[in-house]
Chains A and B, each alone.
Chain A
C-alpha cells in the first residue's frame, strides 16, 4: 500500500485537464483555421494521455485499447483536416 502513486495520478490528471483547457481556449479563439487544427491535435493527444492516466489509476488494462483507438482516429482526423487546408480536398482523384 502506498499513497504517492494515487497522488501523482491526480496531479497529472489536473495537469492534463488544465492543458486541455488551454487547447480549448485556442480552439475557440484561434484567428486562423490552422490554429484551430493545431489546437484539436493537442486536444486529442491530451485526451489520450488522460485516458491512460485513468488506466493507471484504476489498474485496468482495458483503457489501453481506448487510448490506442483515440491515437489512431485523432491522427487520421487532424491529418485529413490539414490536408484539406493544403489542397482543398482530402483524397485527390
Chain B
C-alpha cells in the first residue's frame, strides 16, 4: 500500500518530464521539417554552391553521433563564441532539429523522386505557375508517400531526446532518474518512463496512419 501511494506521488514529476520531452520534440520536429524543405529546395535550386552545401550538410549530419552534436552545441560553440551559459532546452531543440532536418530531407527527396516528370509537364502545359505546381499538384502527392517515413523520423527524434538529460535538460528520462534517487526504487520509475515513451511514439505512428489513409482516400494506385 505504501509502495503504491509512493508511486502515485511521483506521477506529477514524471508527467512534468513528459511535457518537456513533448515540447522539445514537437518544436524540433516542426523546425526539422522546415529545414528539410529548405534543404530539398537548395538541392533542386541548380545553384552549384547551394547544392554542394546542402549535400555536405546532410552527409555530415547523417554521420555524426547525436551526443557529439549536443555536446558541441552546448559546450563547444558557447566557448568558441564566448556566449557564457546557454539554455540547455533550446540547445536540445536546435540539436534535434539540425539532425532531424537532414534525415527528413532524405525522406522528402525519396518521395519526390517517386513522382513522374509528367506531373510537372502536365501542370506547366495547363499554365500553372511553379508555386501552383508545388502547392496543388506535387505536395498533395508527396505527403501520403512521405508520411510513414516522416513519422518514423519523429520517432527517432523522441528516442534520441534522452541524450539531452546529459546537458541538464529535465526531460522524462531525467525525471525518472530523479524519482529513482528519491524513492530508492531502481525499476518502477524507469518502467513508467518506458510506458510513456512507448505510447508517445505509438500515438505518432497511429496519427500518421490515420492521416495517410485520409490523404490517399479513393485513389488506389
A binds B: no
- Give A residues with C-beta under 8 Å from B: none
- Give B residues with C-beta under 8 Å from A: none
